């Protein structure tokens, strides 16, 4: 009798372990390169979408300069939000075809210098950008100007304000204004190109693409657009 009880107990433990393993297998690690209030709102969309599918997720903050590297090593299952213009730099990921944000890449300049896209082709000019594989660094790949990399949009805006930079490249969007909260009236500005941002899945999860696409569309409709003023207040 004791033998049967022991066997039964072992089977229960194995079943529990298998169930836990399956649960862990279904959990996805999603990287985010920023911890600001704007990204937090996009994380709401992502979290709601996967919750609809019954999939557990964990967000992991990886600094902008490291996110692409860690993602390509296979350490993450998805990218919270990235611009499509730089997606060739993370080729192991596939775009979820739901636009999370639209905007434009802009060159911001101090008032006392010439402000035009032609300055990007001058090797004696230094342009401030956020480090990592992003819209700014990808756009500048074939340009002659020297890039000075900083860790965040906030740091970029601060250095521009302190006039440590004559030029920076930043993102403007009708969804949230300037990503680094730069006042466009304080500086000269030139539009460089239009950009779009999406959620990305690792190719090993491509079977989830149709379901995630539909769930993300529904999540955006349910949660609604970014409350710009509230996000800015929370970020201060």
Give the CATH number of the domain where residue 91 resides: 3.40.190.10
* 135 and 172 share one domain: yes
Give 226: exposed, middle or buried? Use CB within 10 Å, 0-12, 13-18, 19+: buried
* 14 and 96 share one domain: yes
The HSE-up count of residue 196 (CA atoms within 13 Å, CB side) is 10
* 162 and 215 share one domain: no
> Would you say residue 169 has pLDDT above 50?
yes
* 123 and 153 share one domain: yes
Give me the number of domains the chain comprises: 2
* 95 and 23 share one domain: yes
The fraction of the chain above a pLDDT of 70, given in percent, is 83
What average pLDDT is seen over the chain?
85
Residues in the chain: 236
* 208 and 118 share one domain: no
> Would you say residue 200 has pLDDT above 80?
yes
The mean per-residue pLDDT over the stretch 167-184 comes to: 88
Domain region containing 38? 2-102+196-235
* 93 and 201 share one domain: yes
CA 163 – CA 140 distance, rounded (Å): 21
* 146 and 189 share one domain: yes
* 26 and 93 share one domain: yes
* 7 and 94 share one domain: yes
* 156 and 221 share one domain: no
CA dist 81 → 38, 88, 121, 147, 233 (Å)? 11, 15, 29, 23, 22
Instruction: Report pTM.
Output: 0.79
Quote the radius of gyration of the chain (alpha carbons, Å).
22
The mean per-residue pLDDT over the stretch 93-105 comes to: 95
* 138 and 208 share one domain: no
State residue 88's pLDDT score. 80
State residue 19's pLDDT score. 46
Query: Under 8 Å CB-to-CB from 105, ≥6 apart: which residues?
Result: 85, 135, 136, 139, 169, 170, 171, 191, 192, 193, 194, 195
> Would you say residue 6 has pLDDT above 70?
no
């Amino acid at each position: 009798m004791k033998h049967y009880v022991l066997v039964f107990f072992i089977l229960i433990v194995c079943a529990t372990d298998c169930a836990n393993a399956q649960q862990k297998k279904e959990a996805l690690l999603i990287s985010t390169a920023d911890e600001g209030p704007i990204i937090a709102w996009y994380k709401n969309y992502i979290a709601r979408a996967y919750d609809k599918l019954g999939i557990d997720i964990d967000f992991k903050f990886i600094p902008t300069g490291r996110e692409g590297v860690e993602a390509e090593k296979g350490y993450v299952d998805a990218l919270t939000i990235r611009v499509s213009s730089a997606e060739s730099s993370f080729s192991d990921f596939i775009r979820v075809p739901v636009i999370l944000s639209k905007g434009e890449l802009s060159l911001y300049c101090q008032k006392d210098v010439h402000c035009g896209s032609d300055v990007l082709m001058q090797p004696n000019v230094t342009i401030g950008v956020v480090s990592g594989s992003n819209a700014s660094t990808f756009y500048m790949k074939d340009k002659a100007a020297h890039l000075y990399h900083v860790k965040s949009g906030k740091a970029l805006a601060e250095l521009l304000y302190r006039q440590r930079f004559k030029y920076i490249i930043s993102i403007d969007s009708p969804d949230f204004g300037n990503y680094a909260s730069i006042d466009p009236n304080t500086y000269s500005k030139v539009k460089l190109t239009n950009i779009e941002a999406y959620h990305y899945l690792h190719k090993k999860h491509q079977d989830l693409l149709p379901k995630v696409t539909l769930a993300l569309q529904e999540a955006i409709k349910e949660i609604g657009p970014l409350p710009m003023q509230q996000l800015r207040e929370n970020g201060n």
